[in-house]
Structure 1
Amino acid sequence: MSIPKKAKTQLTELSIRSLGVIDSAEIEIGSGLTVITGETGAGKTMVLTALNLILGSKSDPDLIRNGEDRLVVSGKFQLTKELIDQAEEVGGQVEDGELIITRSVNNQGKSKMVFGGVASTASQVSEFGEELIEIHAQASSARLAKGSVQRNLLDSFAGHEELSSTYVSFFEEFNKNRKRISELKNQLQARDLEISKLETLVNDYEKVKPKAGELAELDNEITKLGSIEALNTGISQVLANISGEDSSIISLLYSDKRTLETLVGKDSNLDKIIERFADISYELSETNLDLERYLANLEADPHRFDSLQSRKSELNAFVKKYGRGEDREKALS
């Protein structure tokens, strides 16, 4: 049984500048066998090093030739139709079936990779480079122990490329669906968590049952109950001045009011002033009564004070847990 030869890629040109002992070198590689010979230290190893750098291996500024700022290596590869499509998919430019990969490393360790005229990364090129060239060195046969390599060799020998491609397609679809299922599960978990948070909010709201303007009312009453003594003393002093038994303001105003009333009708302009004076006297009298009623209802209530403080703490804890912004009343609404 004859097995058709599978099209392969080919390295056609290698350019090296300032790499190790090599100052500058251009190597053209034809079809068939190409042998590079030289004495020890001539730079044969640097050729393999250049290839590894081009194919995405780790860079090292120590590889730069003494006295130079950077090294530059590039390789030109003749691609198969399949690899041409793959290269163009990732943005690489392929001309006449040839792809150029360039790698530069400066003396600060910074590396730059250009894949078909487009900036790329060493890891991206490394994945593509596995299909470009195969380097055999010491212990290279250890690669054959990898399951993936054995499967590829077996599929290639048996001509199962189409079956393998179909399997890969189904496997990718499987992974895509598995990823989607995982995303949906995560979304469900996030939804359940959000529902749980909302349920906790509703339960806490039902327990606290805040009312509009309640915090302002609490603050006002707490301040009032905490200032009973000062309020009592201040209002009592004012009432003593306004309506006390000895020369109170109200008694003097009423006396003056009666005097002014005897002058009504003698001058229209004065009549207006007397009318305003009468209004002020009446307003002061009403204010005096309001202060007396307020003072009569003013009393200390320690139990009420403690209850208000407890309610305020409960509302503030709710605001701190669920509120947004600095306005406490808006946070409760």
Structure 2
Amino acid sequence: MLTSLSIKNFALIEDAHLQLQDQFTIITGETGAGKSILLGALSLLLGKRADLSAIRNPEKKCVVEGAFQIDAYDLHAVFEEHDLDYEPQTIIRREILPSGKSRAFINDTPATLQKLAVLGNRLVDIHSQHDTLFIGDADYQFQVIDALAGNKDELQNYQASYKSYQKLLQQLKELNEAQKEASATYNYNLFLLNELKEVELKEGMQEELEAQYQELNNVEELKENLSAALHHLQQEDIGGISILQEVKNRLNALENYGDQYKSLSERIESVLIEVEDMSVEIERLENKVEADPETLSFVNDKLQQLYSLQKKHHIDSVEELLQLQEELAQKVATSENAEEEISALNDRIAKAKTATQKIAKKIYENRKKVIPQFQTSVEKILTQVGMPDAKLKVALAHTSNFTPKGLDTIEWKLAANKGANFNDIKKAASGGELSRITLAIKSILANYSKLPTIIFDEIDTGVSGDIAQKMAVIMSDMGQEMQVISITHLPQIAAKGNYHFKVYKQTENEITKTNISVLSKNERIEELAEMLGGKEKSASAIAHAKELLN
């Protein structure tokens, strides 16, 4: 429950502090006094975006702080999930700086607005007079029925199963689109792939073929030059080897005349060995080089195939051709294996659909089970608040169409008067009747939601004094289960509160500001009398106020 609310430099409030209690609390004040400012400030603690124009003095920061006693509401998991420090007395603070920057803290730990909203939804339900229209929304109707049905775990399981099912359907859609695209180009891709495979591509093959072509295409020149080189090396008496042999013999004769001569002798011997080895290699190459027109033609054809493929695909190397071959193979495989993949995916989809339908069926059964009692409970409360002939019908249908809420459709229908036809609840009820219906639903939910605090903002709009008094009884009864705060302009409701705050405006030094004070019993009588009869507060109004309060 909300135990205190501190507001500084917000709208017309300079500095206000409320100490709140459990049970049923009333907030009253003249129109324009600033009752809505309290809700605006509280909304900042619940994750609403800050508005720089809400700062009273633009040179100072605005601070709103609320203390919540939460040890009775089993919120440890929420704090752990969002990496927050749990404290039984949790403090939420919001600051708006003059620069416009907004900061939020939960137990002095910086927090995002999303975290404020998640926690706020578990702490406070603010219900304004405009929210009565939500009663006709299917999402809200499901929310109420599911709360009564205890469908929280089933809905979480359904959401997970539903998302998996939708993901598989998306995969099937994408696979079908890819298969359709692949099929359209399958024959052409297969032709290109076979064309590449025919060449038997290997890394480095182009360089090898080009070298082989150069050798085979220049056999005569190679043989002529190798033969001449060998002749110059091996020619008797004047050949290179003979001359080097003679030089070696001359230097060998000088070895005993010093190390420098011995070194020269060793060096020439090394040169002679190298030249003799080269002579053997040249002779081997000369014998190997032979004209081979058939091989030359084969190599040339292979090279022309490579050059043609590179030109065709606008690429420059065998490596790029190999990459293209791999890509084409994948496209061809996609088309050839698509039916098998689609079949396997359809099997998974069928299983996911069955599992999701099973959970949805359980949710439907739980909803269906609580609807009769819900209708009866609402009608009973409506009888207490002046709608004795009102009948509520919850039309729940189980369909084959998946939605985030299950396989069901829902519609609340109302027959407000005896003999009237059932119609959509928003069309069948007036504003005052919607207020009473909303209160009936909220009072029923109070026993299921375990929500610490609910705030009604002028939910009594459009109802008479007698009906307002009956509505006040219901809110007072709700206050036995949870903290209930009602902002009201009707004395019949104000009198039923266990505690009473008054919001009022004061002007000092030509500056208007809003103040809030808790009323004593005598002050409550004065406030109720003013609400009944105006500023004059006649004796009869005072007497009536005392009667209401007692």
**TM-score > 0.5 by shorter chain:** yes
Name the aligned partner's letter for residue 35 of structure 1: I
How far is the alpha carbon of 1:310 from its aligned partner?
2.8
Name the aligned partner's letter for residue 34 of structure 1: I
Give the match's secondary structure for 1:67: coil
Q: CA 1:234 to 1:68, structure 2 compared with 1: closer, same or farther past 3 Å?
A: farther
Give the match's secondary structure for 1:104: strand
CA contact (8 A) 2:209 2:299 kept: no
Q: Which deviations, in whole Å up to 9, do the C-alpha atoms of 1:96-126 show, x marking residues without a partner? A: xx43322223344443332344443323332
Aligned to 2:207: 219
Higher mean alpha-carbon deviation, 235-244 vs 138-147, is at 235-244
Give the match's secondary structure for 2:26: coil
Name the aligned partner's letter for residue 221 of structure 1: L
Aligned to 1:292: 286
Question: How many residues are matched?
Answer: 289
The correspondence of residues 149-188 of structure 1 with structure 2, limited to 5 A, is 149-150=140-141, 161=148, 164-165=149-150, 167-179=151-163
The correspondence of residues 1-333 of structure 1 with structure 2, limited to 5 A, is 9=1, 11-30=2-21, 32-37=24-29, 40=32, 43-79=34-70, 81-82=72-73, 84=75, 88=79, 90=81, 91=84, 93-95=86-88, 98-150=89-141, 161=148, 164-165=149-150, 167-179=151-163, 207=197, 215-216=203-204, 218-226=206-214, 236-237=224-225, 239-240=227-228, 243=231, 250-251=235-236, 252-253=238-239, 256=243, 283=277, 285-293=279-287, 296-297=290-291, 301=296, 304-310=299-305, 315-316=318-319, 317-319=321-323, 322=326
Q: CA 1:138 to 1:183, structure 2 compared with 1: closer, same or farther past 3 Å?
A: closer
Normalized per residue, which structure has more strand? Answer: 2
CA contact (8 A) 2:55 2:61 kept: yes
Give the match's secondary structure for 1:225: helix
**Percent identity, aligned pairs only?**
20
| Structure 2: runs of 5 or more not aligned | 183-189, 257-261, 311-316, 328-550
CA contact (8 A) 1:87 1:93 kept: no
Give the match's secondary structure for 1:142: helix
Q: CA 1:294 to 1:43, structure 2 compared with 1: closer, same or farther past 3 Å?
A: same
Give the match's secondary structure for 1:74: strand
**In structure 2, C-alpha distance between the alignment counterparts of 1:115 and 1:237, rounded to whole Å:** 92
Q: Which deviations, in whole Å up to 9, do the C-alpha atoms of 1:296-323 show, x marking residues without a partner? A: 4487946522413535869531146659
**In structure 2, C-alpha distance between the alignment counterparts of 1:301 and 1:68, rounded to whole Å:** 92
How far is the alpha carbon of 1:129 from its aligned partner?
2.5
Q: Which deviations, in whole Å up to 9, do the C-alpha atoms of 1:180-223 show, x marking residues without a partner? A: 56678899999xx9xx9xxx9xx98x946968xx5445413303
**In structure 2, C-alpha distance between the alignment counterparts of 1:273 and 1:12, rounded to whole Å:** 105
Q: What is the alpha-carbon root mean square deviation over aligned residues? A: 5.2
How far is the alpha carbon of 1:289 from its aligned partner?
2.9
Moved over 6 A (4+): 182-190, 227-231, 257-263, 265-278
- Scaled by the length of structure 1, what TM-score is found? 0.61
| Structure 1: runs of 5 or more not aligned | 1-8, 324-333
Q: CA 1:268 to 1:229, structure 2 compared with 1: closer, same or farther past 3 Å?
A: same
- Scaled by the length of structure 2, what TM-score is found? 0.40
Higher relative contact order (CA 8 A, sep 6+): 2
Q: CA 1:50 to 1:296, structure 2 compared with 1: closer, same or farther past 3 Å?
A: same
**In structure 1, C-alpha distance between the alignment counterparts of 2:78 and 2:223, rounded to whole Å:** 92
Give the match's secondary structure for 1:16: strand
